[in-house]
Amino acid sequence: MNEISPFPFEAENHFLFTDSDTAHTSGPEGLTPGRLGIWILISSEIVIFAGILGSFILFRTAHPEWAEESRHLNLIAGSLNTLILLFSNFFMMKAADAVNNGENNKVKLLLGLTIALGTAFLAVKGYEYSMEFQRGEFPSTNNFWSFYFLMTGIHALHILGGLTALSLLWNRARKGTLGPTQGRVALTGLYWSFVELVWIFLFPLLYLMK
Protein backbone atom coordinates (compact mmCIF):
# COMPACT_ATOMS: atom_id res chain seq x y z
CA MET A 1 0.00 0.00 0.00
CA ASN A 2 1.32 3.42 -0.94
CA GLU A 3 2.04 5.78 1.89
CA ILE A 4 0.44 9.20 1.55
CA SER A 5 3.03 11.98 1.76
CA PRO A 6 2.30 14.75 4.26
CA PHE A 7 3.83 17.13 1.71
CA PRO A 8 2.26 16.16 -1.60
CA PHE A 9 3.10 19.47 -3.30
CA GLU A 10 6.71 19.47 -2.18
CA ALA A 11 7.12 15.79 -2.85
CA GLU A 12 6.22 16.35 -6.49
CA ASN A 13 8.53 19.31 -6.76
CA HIS A 14 11.31 17.30 -5.24
CA PHE A 15 11.42 15.26 -8.42
CA LEU A 16 10.94 18.21 -10.70
CA PHE A 17 14.54 19.24 -10.78
CA THR A 18 16.19 15.96 -11.39
CA ASP A 19 17.28 15.18 -14.90
CA SER A 20 15.33 11.98 -15.22
CA ASP A 21 12.54 11.57 -17.73
CA THR A 22 10.11 11.13 -14.87
CA ALA A 23 10.72 14.68 -13.72
CA HIS A 24 7.78 16.37 -15.45
CA THR A 25 4.86 14.00 -15.15
CA SER A 26 2.22 15.46 -12.91
CA GLY A 27 0.38 18.27 -14.67
CA PRO A 28 -0.55 19.58 -18.09
CA GLU A 29 2.30 18.89 -20.50
CA GLY A 30 4.14 17.22 -17.62
CA LEU A 31 4.45 20.43 -15.59
CA THR A 32 4.21 20.07 -11.82
CA PRO A 33 1.80 22.45 -10.04
CA GLY A 34 4.71 24.47 -8.63
CA ARG A 35 6.37 25.05 -11.99
CA LEU A 36 3.04 25.74 -13.67
CA GLY A 37 2.24 28.28 -10.94
CA ILE A 38 5.55 30.10 -11.36
CA TRP A 39 5.08 30.29 -15.14
CA ILE A 40 1.57 31.71 -14.66
CA LEU A 41 3.03 34.26 -12.22
CA ILE A 42 5.77 35.17 -14.71
CA SER A 43 3.18 35.48 -17.49
CA SER A 44 1.18 37.98 -15.45
CA GLU A 45 4.39 39.85 -14.57
CA ILE A 46 5.18 40.12 -18.28
CA VAL A 47 1.84 41.86 -18.79
CA ILE A 48 2.65 44.34 -16.01
CA PHE A 49 6.20 45.11 -17.14
CA ALA A 50 5.36 45.06 -20.87
CA GLY A 51 2.66 47.66 -20.25
CA ILE A 52 5.00 49.95 -18.33
CA LEU A 53 7.99 49.44 -20.63
CA GLY A 54 5.80 49.82 -23.74
CA SER A 55 4.38 53.09 -22.44
CA PHE A 56 7.87 54.34 -21.62
CA ILE A 57 9.16 53.46 -25.13
CA LEU A 58 6.29 55.34 -26.76
CA PHE A 59 6.75 58.40 -24.54
CA ARG A 60 10.51 58.26 -24.94
CA THR A 61 10.35 58.21 -28.76
CA ALA A 62 7.95 61.14 -28.68
CA HIS A 63 10.27 63.08 -26.34
CA PRO A 64 13.87 62.96 -27.59
CA GLU A 65 14.73 65.60 -24.99
CA TRP A 66 14.47 62.86 -22.33
CA ALA A 67 17.95 61.80 -23.47
CA GLU A 68 19.22 64.84 -21.57
CA GLU A 69 17.41 63.69 -18.40
CA SER A 70 18.84 60.18 -18.67
CA ARG A 71 22.36 61.67 -18.68
CA HIS A 72 21.72 62.63 -15.06
CA LEU A 73 21.48 58.95 -14.13
CA ASN A 74 24.51 57.34 -12.54
CA LEU A 75 25.81 55.01 -15.27
CA ILE A 76 28.44 53.49 -12.98
CA ALA A 77 25.81 52.54 -10.40
CA GLY A 78 23.53 51.15 -13.13
CA SER A 79 26.37 49.10 -14.64
CA LEU A 80 27.41 47.88 -11.20
CA ASN A 81 23.84 46.75 -10.52
CA THR A 82 23.78 44.89 -13.86
CA LEU A 83 26.93 43.04 -12.86
CA ILE A 84 25.56 42.36 -9.37
CA LEU A 85 22.36 40.84 -10.78
CA LEU A 86 24.32 38.73 -13.29
CA PHE A 87 26.46 37.30 -10.49
CA SER A 88 23.45 36.86 -8.22
CA ASN A 89 21.49 34.89 -10.79
CA PHE A 90 24.56 32.84 -11.63
CA PHE A 91 24.90 31.79 -7.98
CA MET A 92 21.17 31.06 -7.90
CA MET A 93 21.51 28.69 -10.86
CA LYS A 94 24.46 27.02 -9.17
CA ALA A 95 22.40 26.64 -5.99
CA ALA A 96 19.70 24.84 -7.99
CA ASP A 97 22.38 22.53 -9.40
CA ALA A 98 23.78 21.93 -5.91
CA VAL A 99 20.29 20.91 -4.76
CA ASN A 100 20.20 18.29 -7.51
CA ASN A 101 23.60 17.03 -6.38
CA GLY A 102 22.51 16.90 -2.73
CA GLU A 103 25.24 19.30 -1.61
CA ASN A 104 23.49 21.06 1.28
CA ASN A 105 26.48 23.11 2.44
CA LYS A 106 27.00 24.40 -1.07
CA VAL A 107 23.28 25.24 -1.36
CA LYS A 108 23.52 27.22 1.86
CA LEU A 109 26.61 29.11 0.67
CA LEU A 110 25.24 29.85 -2.80
CA LEU A 111 21.84 30.97 -1.51
CA GLY A 112 23.66 33.22 0.97
CA LEU A 113 25.70 34.76 -1.86
CA THR A 114 22.55 35.27 -3.94
CA ILE A 115 20.86 37.03 -1.02
CA ALA A 116 23.94 39.16 -0.31
CA LEU A 117 24.14 40.29 -3.93
CA GLY A 118 20.40 40.95 -4.11
CA THR A 119 20.74 43.10 -1.00
CA ALA A 120 23.73 44.86 -2.57
CA PHE A 121 21.57 45.62 -5.61
CA LEU A 122 18.98 47.30 -3.38
CA ALA A 123 21.72 49.18 -1.52
CA VAL A 124 23.16 50.57 -4.76
CA LYS A 125 19.66 51.48 -5.95
CA GLY A 126 19.02 53.20 -2.60
CA TYR A 127 22.26 55.16 -2.98
CA GLU A 128 21.21 56.21 -6.48
CA TYR A 129 17.80 57.33 -5.22
CA SER A 130 19.38 59.35 -2.42
CA MET A 131 21.71 61.11 -4.89
CA GLU A 132 18.78 61.88 -7.18
CA PHE A 133 16.69 63.24 -4.32
CA GLN A 134 19.61 65.45 -3.29
CA ARG A 135 19.71 66.87 -6.83
CA GLY A 136 15.98 67.58 -6.58
CA GLU A 137 14.89 64.84 -8.95
CA PHE A 138 11.63 63.34 -7.68
CA PRO A 139 8.81 61.34 -9.30
CA SER A 140 6.92 64.61 -9.58
CA THR A 141 9.76 66.43 -11.39
CA ASN A 142 8.65 65.40 -14.88
CA ASN A 143 7.39 62.38 -16.82
CA PHE A 144 10.87 60.94 -17.31
CA TRP A 145 11.50 60.80 -13.57
CA SER A 146 7.97 59.49 -12.94
CA PHE A 147 8.70 56.58 -15.28
CA TYR A 148 12.18 56.10 -13.85
CA PHE A 149 11.02 55.84 -10.23
CA LEU A 150 7.99 53.72 -11.20
CA MET A 151 9.94 51.19 -13.26
CA THR A 152 12.95 50.88 -10.97
CA GLY A 153 10.70 50.95 -7.87
CA ILE A 154 8.50 48.10 -9.09
CA HIS A 155 11.61 46.17 -10.08
CA ALA A 156 13.14 46.77 -6.63
CA LEU A 157 9.94 45.47 -5.03
CA HIS A 158 10.30 42.29 -7.08
CA ILE A 159 13.88 41.98 -5.86
CA LEU A 160 12.61 42.38 -2.29
CA GLY A 161 9.98 39.67 -2.85
CA GLY A 162 12.64 37.34 -4.28
CA LEU A 163 14.94 38.06 -1.34
CA THR A 164 12.16 37.13 1.09
CA ALA A 165 11.64 33.77 -0.61
CA LEU A 166 15.40 33.20 -0.79
CA SER A 167 15.82 34.04 2.89
CA LEU A 168 13.20 31.46 3.86
CA LEU A 169 14.97 28.84 1.75
CA TRP A 170 18.39 29.82 3.10
CA ASN A 171 17.07 29.54 6.66
CA ARG A 172 15.85 26.01 5.94
CA ALA A 173 19.15 25.11 4.28
CA ARG A 174 21.00 26.49 7.32
CA LYS A 175 18.93 24.32 9.66
CA GLY A 176 19.27 21.35 7.33
CA THR A 177 15.50 21.11 6.90
CA LEU A 178 15.36 21.96 3.20
CA GLY A 179 14.58 18.32 2.41
CA PRO A 180 11.01 18.11 1.13
CA THR A 181 10.96 21.73 -0.02
CA GLN A 182 14.24 21.69 -1.92
CA GLY A 183 12.39 21.87 -5.26
CA ARG A 184 11.47 25.43 -4.37
CA VAL A 185 15.10 26.47 -4.87
CA ALA A 186 14.81 25.95 -8.62
CA LEU A 187 11.34 27.56 -8.67
CA THR A 188 12.75 30.61 -6.92
CA GLY A 189 15.63 30.50 -9.41
CA LEU A 190 13.11 30.73 -12.24
CA TYR A 191 11.57 33.81 -10.65
CA TRP A 192 15.02 35.32 -9.95
CA SER A 193 15.98 34.84 -13.61
CA PHE A 194 12.83 36.71 -14.61
CA VAL A 195 13.82 39.59 -12.33
CA GLU A 196 17.20 39.66 -14.08
CA LEU A 197 15.44 39.52 -17.45
CA VAL A 198 13.45 42.65 -16.60
CA TRP A 199 16.63 44.49 -15.59
CA ILE A 200 18.28 43.49 -18.88
CA PHE A 201 15.67 45.69 -20.62
CA LEU A 202 15.36 48.38 -17.94
CA PHE A 203 19.08 49.15 -17.93
CA PRO A 204 19.46 50.11 -21.63
CA LEU A 205 16.04 51.82 -21.68
CA LEU A 206 16.93 54.15 -18.84
CA TYR A 207 20.71 54.46 -18.89
CA LEU A 208 21.92 53.76 -22.43
CA MET A 209 19.19 54.90 -24.83
CA LYS A 210 20.05 58.12 -26.71
Partner 1 sequence: MNTKSKFSNHNVIFILLAVLAFFSVGTTFLSLSPGLNNWYVFGIAAIMASLVLIQYMDLKSEGFLVYAFFIVPVVLFAILVVLVGLASPNGPRIF
Q: Which residues bind partner 1 (CB under 8 A)?
A: 19, 28-31, 36, 39-40, 42-44, 46-47, 50-51, 54, 57-58, 61-62, 64, 67, 75, 79, 82-83, 86-87, 89-90, 93-94, 97, 100-101, 189-190, 193-194, 196-197, 200-201, 203-204, 208-210
Q: Which is nearer to partner 1, 82 or 181 (CB)?
A: 82
Reduce the DSSP state of residue 103 to 3 states and report it.
coil
Amino acid identity at 189? G
Q: Which is nearer to partner 1, 27 or 174 (CB)?
A: 27
* Region of residue 29 (phi > 0: left; psi between -120 and 50: alpha; otherwise: beta): left
Inter-CA distances, 133 with 60, 67, 86, 100, 140, Å: 22, 19, 27, 45, 11
Give the shortest CB-143-to-partner 1 separation in angstroms. Answer: 15
Q: Which is nearer to partner 1, 110 or 163 (CB)?
A: 110
Give the shortest CB-113-to-partner 1 separation in angstroms. Answer: 13
Q: Which is nearer to partner 1, 109 or 209 (CB)?
A: 209
CA atoms within 13 A on the CB side of 53: 19
Cβ(80)–Cβ(199) under 8 Å? Answer: no
Give the shortest CB-47-to-partner 1 separation in angstroms. Answer: 5
Give the shortest CB-87-to-partner 1 separation in angstroms. Answer: 8
Q: Which is nearer to partner 1, 7 or 71 (CB)?
A: 71
Nearest C-alpha neighbor of 126 from the set 153, 154, 150: 153
Give DSSP secondary structure letters for 114-126: HHHHHHHHHHHHH
